[in-house]
Amino acid sequence: MPILVVSATEDHSVRFHQYHLSDMGRVRVRKVCEIDGREVQQSEIGKGYQWAADQVIPISDAELGNLPLPTAKAIEIDAFVPLASVDPLRIGEGYYLTPDGAVAAKPYKLLVQALGRSSKAAVAKYAWSGQERLGLLRVRDDVLVLHSMRWPDEIRSPEELCPPPVDLDKGEIDGALALMDTMARDDLEGEEFRDTYAEALQEIIEAKREHREPPAATEPETEPGQVLDLMAALNASVQKAKASRGEADVHEIPAPKKKAAKKQPAKKTTEKKTAAKKPARKPHSA
C-alpha cells in the first residue's frame, strides 16, 4: 500500500538565536573539518562509523536505503493489540499516513475500517533515519496515524524513583477523588489548554521592541518546598476549581476524624517505705 508520511504535529515554540552582545552580530555554528581546518558544506558531509581510533567506515544513504530488511522501504505490521494495553511512555511523535495514489485507496480504507471496528492498534516495524524503529498504527478521523515507539529496553525501571512509604488517611484520599471529580471533563479543548509560556515570551519580546517595561511576573501562591496542610490544600483546590466553573455551591471536604486514644486504666500507687540512708563516713587522713 503506497503511502505518504506527513507530520501530524506543529512546533509553536519561540526560537532564539545566539548573538554577539557587543554588536548584536549573529553567532553561528560552522561545520569545520578537523583535518584540513576548512569549513565544509552540507553536500560534502556523509555518514561514517568509527571502527577504531584511526579507522572510519563510510556509509552512504544509498547503502542504508538498500538494507536487506523488509522494513527498509515499507512499514511491516507484526501484531494487533488493544490500544489501552500500550504504555503511553512508549509512544512518541505522531505522523499522518495518507494513501499515495488510487492504487492505495482501497487497502488504505480497508485497514482504517478494520482498525476502527476492532478498537485495536497495529504494532509495526519501519526504517527511519538509518535505524529500524517500532511503531504504533491507529485511526484518527478516518486517517491512519503512525506513532514512533520506544523499544522495551529503552524504558527505565521506576523502582529506584519510588517515594518513601507514607500513611494516607481515608479522608485525604476522598478529598483527592473529590478534586478529580470537580476537574473532570470530556475533552482537552479550551482556554486553559494553551501555551502560556510562549505567550509570556511574546509579551516580553513586544515590550522590548517598543522600549517599555515587560509585564511583572506573578508571585506564586506558595513558596517552593513549603509544607502545607494536605486537607486545607485539597479544600482550596476544590473551591478554586468550582469557582472557575461558576459553581456557587462549594462545600468543604470534611476533615478526617481523628481516632480517640484508648483510655488506660489508672495505676494504683503503692506507698513504699524506704529505710533512711545513713550519712557516708568521711575518710580518715593518714
pLDDT at residue 195 greater than cutoff 90: no
SS3 71: coil
pLDDT at 275: 44
Instruction: Give dist(CA 238, CA 253) in Å, integer.
Output: 9
pLDDT at 114: 92
Query: pLDDT per residue over 204-243, tens digit each?
Result: 888 878 888 877 777 666 565 555 676 677 777 777 777 7
Q: What mean pLDDT is predicted for residues 65-82?
A: 78
**What nine digits make up the cell of 125?**
516495524
State residue 77 phi and psi, 5-degree precision.
-80, 125
pLDDT at 276: 44
Question: Between 217 and 36, whose confidence is greater?
Answer: 36
Q: Which residues contact 75 (CB under 8 A, 6 or more apart)?
A: 3, 97, 124, 125, 126, 135, 137, 146
Judge whether 284 and 199 are in contact, CB under 8 Å.
no
When mean pLDDT is compared across 73-77, 153-157, 189-193, 266-270, the lowest value belongs to 266-270
When mean pLDDT is compared across 26-30, 152-156, 252-256, the lowest value belongs to 252-256
Q: What mean pLDDT is predicted for residues 145-152?
A: 91
Domains and CATH numbers, the chain: 3-8+72-154 (2.40.290.10), 161-183+233-241 (no CATH)
DSSP secondary-structure letter at 69? Answer: S
DSSP codes joined into one string, 6-61: EE-----PPP--EEETTTTEEE----B-TTT--B--GGG--EEEEEETTEEEEE-H
Q: What is the pTM of this model?
A: 0.61
- Name residue 242's beta-bridge partners: none
**What nine digits make up the cell of 172?**
485525604
Confidence grade of residue 135 (pLDDT, cut at 50, 70, 90): very high
Confidence grade of residue 194 (pLDDT, cut at 50, 70, 90): confident
Give the start-end residues of each E strand in 72-172: 76-82, 91-99, 120-128, 131-140, 143-149
Instruction: Give dist(CA 146, CA 190) in Å, integer.
Output: 26
Instruction: Give dist(CA 188, CA 185) in Å, integer.
Output: 8
pLDDT at 193: 79
Average pLDDT, the chain: 79
**What nine digits make up the cell of 74?**
515499507
When mean pLDDT is compared across 63-72, 180-189, 253-262, the lowest value belongs to 253-262
129 closest CA partner among 66, 65, 68:
65
pLDDT at 274: 44
pLDDT at residue 147 greater than cutoff 90: yes
Instruction: Give dist(CA 246, CA 263) in Å, integer.
Output: 48
77 closest CA partner among 122, 114, 117, 109:
122
pLDDT at 9: 78
CA torsion 7-8-14-18 (nearest 10°) is -20
Which ranges constitute the DSSP H helices of the chain?
Answer: 61-65, 105-118, 170-183, 196-209, 230-244
Instruction: Please state the separation of Cα 240 from the chain's center in Å.
Output: 25
Q: Of 70-79, 88-97, 250-259, which one has max mean pLDDT?
A: 88-97
pLDDT at 197: 76
Query: pLDDT per residue over 233-280, tens digit each?
Result: 777 777 777 776 666 554 555 555 555 555 555 554 444 444 444 444
Judge whether 44 and 58 are in contact, CB under 8 Å.
no
pLDDT at residue 138 greater than cutoff 80: yes
